[in-house]
């Protein structure tokens, strides 16, 4: 019985990074689109965005892990969409005391397309 061997060539498309922004960590690769809830600056559609808090970079052959961050590595992207999430209704109610409060909240977010990992 013959066994088939397959070799996987790692390309630049296999490169990914782990960035930290908005209190969360995201695994990103070139071409990915991520949704960020808490972004530190106001941005408009088409603005360039750079993330300098990079925790890990993997290019397919080697993996660089920061302690806690990598120096000199920047992930850049472009703002695709600025919007707000659907409304979440918050109701506080206490029975038998005529107490009811109703409040709504829409969380702002931005969508960023990752262009480069350098």
Tens digits of residue pLDDT in 7-22: 444 555 589 999 999 8
User: What pLDDT, on a 0 to 100 scale, did the predictor assign at position 14?
Assistant: 81
Domain that holds residue 79: 13-117
Any domain includes 5: no
* Number of domains present in the structure of the chain: 1
pTM for the full predicted model: 0.78
Any domain includes 44: yes
Any domain includes 8: no
User: What pLDDT, on a 0 to 100 scale, did the predictor assign at position 11?
Assistant: 52
Residue 106 CA to residue 85 CA, distance in Å, equals 5
pLDDT digits (tens, 9 = 90+) for 49-68: 999 999 999 988 899 999 88
User: What pLDDT, on a 0 to 100 scale, did the predictor assign at position 38?
Assistant: 85
User: What pLDDT, on a 0 to 100 scale, did the predictor assign at position 7?
Assistant: 45
Q: Is the confidence at residue 2, as pLDDT, over 70?
A: no
- Residue 77: pLDDT band (50, 70, 90) is very high
**Helix/strand/coil (H, E, C) string of 30-66?**
CCCEEEECCCCCCCCCCCEEEECCEEEEECCCCEEEC
Residue 91 CA to residue 89 CA, distance in Å, equals 7
């Amino acid at each position: 019985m013959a066994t088939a061997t397959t070799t996987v060539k790692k390309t630049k498309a296999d490169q990914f990074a782990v960035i930290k922004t908005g209190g969360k960590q995201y695994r990103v690769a070139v071409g990915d689109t991520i949704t960020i809830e808490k972004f530190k600056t106001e941005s408009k559609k088409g603005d360039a965005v750079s993330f300098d808090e990079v925790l890990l970079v993997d290019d397919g052959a080697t993996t660089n892990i920061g302690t806690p961050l990598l120096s000199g590595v920047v992930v850049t992207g472009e703002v695709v969409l600025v919007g707000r999430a659907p409304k979440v209704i918050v109701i506080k109610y206490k029975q038998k005391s005529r107490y009811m409060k109703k409040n709504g909240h829409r969380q702002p977010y931005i969508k960023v397309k990752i262009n480069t990992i350098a």
